[in-house]
């Protein structure tokens, strides 16, 4: 059944981030929720967002200052909420490595607080945004997101038959997100030289619009306990460098601590409990008390299957990358690039 978003009260943790702002835009323009609550800890970003999406008069927008570390504040914010999108996280890998206790407090314990508050206030659906770095993690950020993902999947054990349903949406690098390689390359090309950690590196790529629409679809079809993985293309970092900085010199700096050459969205072990659909894979909960396949119409995956960025059958070409950068980042390729 199609969800009637006009009857939904939606809360987004970390709602002033890149995802939250695009989610808000699409929700207001296309889905018209009854109420949309932005929950975040940065008052300046809320003020800036309020200028674009006013909360006065008959606007569905509401803004709550709060931190996911504060369980009581989450409970207060979730009264009357039907849907929660949990996007708040510390996500910069070097910062998490240097401040591990802070990463645990926000990404793991903060996720537990979101689950507890959703259970206490009668939320119907709660979905966490996760990352390919949670699969076989090699850094603390990935490890904390793996724990958070597990908490959401197994949070269904606490909700009972009629309580809140929890699930996870796991996807790859978002084009142009803060701290990502694109803003770095755009800045570096002005000097005529780009820094690349490893020329073999590949990554999954998804645009903000694609990420938001994927999350909305997951919310509409989730039954509780799933991990949703979109079928998205891969890109080579060297191809990205070719497009952003043709003619620029390159410095190979070496892989950073906790960084992978290739990413994995669906591991071999997870694939045994997953099914393939037209535009996604769904990892079904493995606990016996679920009782049956909750999305039965998918195709079983062959033994040994995994969804990896280097063996992905779908790749972005130079033209694809150029078109995405023009649309998402407003990058112009009509003028001469520094270093040519």
Q: Which structural domains are found in the chain, ordered by start?
A: 5-328 (3.40.50.720)
Q: In what order do the strands lie in the sheet with 173-174?
A: 173-174, 202-206, 234-236
The ranges of the chain with pLDDT < 70 are 1, 288-293, 334-340
Q: How high is the pLDDT of residue 8?
A: 98
Determine the 3-state secondary structure of 103 from DSSP.
Answer: helix
Q: How high is the pLDDT of residue 2?
A: 76
Q: How high is the pLDDT of residue 336?
A: 43
133 catalytic per annotation: yes
Which DSSP category does 39 fall into?
E
User: Among the options 2, 32, 45, 133, which is catalytic?
Assistant: 133
Query: What's the first-to-final CA gap in the chain, in angstroms?
Result: 55
Q: How high is the pLDDT of residue 90?
A: 96
Q: How high is the pLDDT of residue 288?
A: 61
Q: How high is the pLDDT of residue 338?
A: 38
Q: How high is the pLDDT of residue 69?
A: 98
Determine the 3-state secondary structure of 245 from DSSP.
Answer: coil
């Amino acid at each position: 059944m199609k969800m009637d978003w006009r009857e939904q009260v939606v809360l987004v943790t970390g709602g002033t981030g890149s995802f939250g702002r695009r989610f808000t835009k699409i929700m207001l323009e296309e889905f018209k929720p009854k109420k949309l609550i932005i929950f975040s800890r940065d008052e300046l970003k809320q003020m800036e967002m309020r200028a674009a999406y006013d909360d006065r008069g008959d606007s569905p927008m509401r803004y709550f200052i709060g931190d996911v570390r504060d369980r009581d504040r989450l409970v207060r914010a979730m009264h009357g909420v039907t849907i929660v999108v949990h996007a708040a996280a510390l996500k910069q890998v070097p910062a998490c490595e240097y401040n591990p206790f802070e990463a645990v407090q926000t990404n793991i314990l903060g996720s537990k607080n979101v689950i507890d508050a959703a259970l206490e206030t009668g939320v119907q659906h709660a979905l966490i945004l996760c990352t390919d770095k949670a699969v076989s993690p090699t850094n603390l950020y990935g490890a904390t997101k793996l724990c958070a993902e597990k908490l959401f999947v197994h949070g269904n054990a606490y909700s009972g038959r009629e309580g809140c349903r929890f699930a996870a949406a796991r996807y790859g690098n978002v084009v142009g997100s803060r701290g990502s390689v694109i803003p770095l390359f755009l800045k570096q090309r002005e000097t005529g030289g780009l820094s690349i950690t490893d020329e073999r590196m590949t990554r999954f790529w998804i645009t903000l619009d694609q990420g938001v629409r994927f999350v909305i679809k997951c919310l509409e079809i989730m039954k509780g306990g799933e991990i949703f993985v979109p079928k998205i293309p891969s890109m080579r970092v060297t191809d990205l460098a070719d497009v952003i900085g043709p003619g620029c010199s390159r410095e190979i700096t070496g892989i950073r601590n906790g960084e992978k050459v290739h990413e994995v969205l669906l591991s071999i072990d997870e694939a045994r409990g997953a099914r393939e659909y037209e535009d996604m894979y769904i990892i079904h909960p493995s606990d016996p008390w679920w009782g049956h396949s909750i999305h039965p119409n998918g195709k079983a995956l062959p033994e040994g299957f995994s969804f990896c960025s280097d063996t992905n059958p779908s790749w972005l070409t130079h033209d694809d990358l150029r078109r995405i950068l023009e649309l998402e980042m407003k990058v112009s390729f009509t003028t001469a690039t520094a270093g040519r």
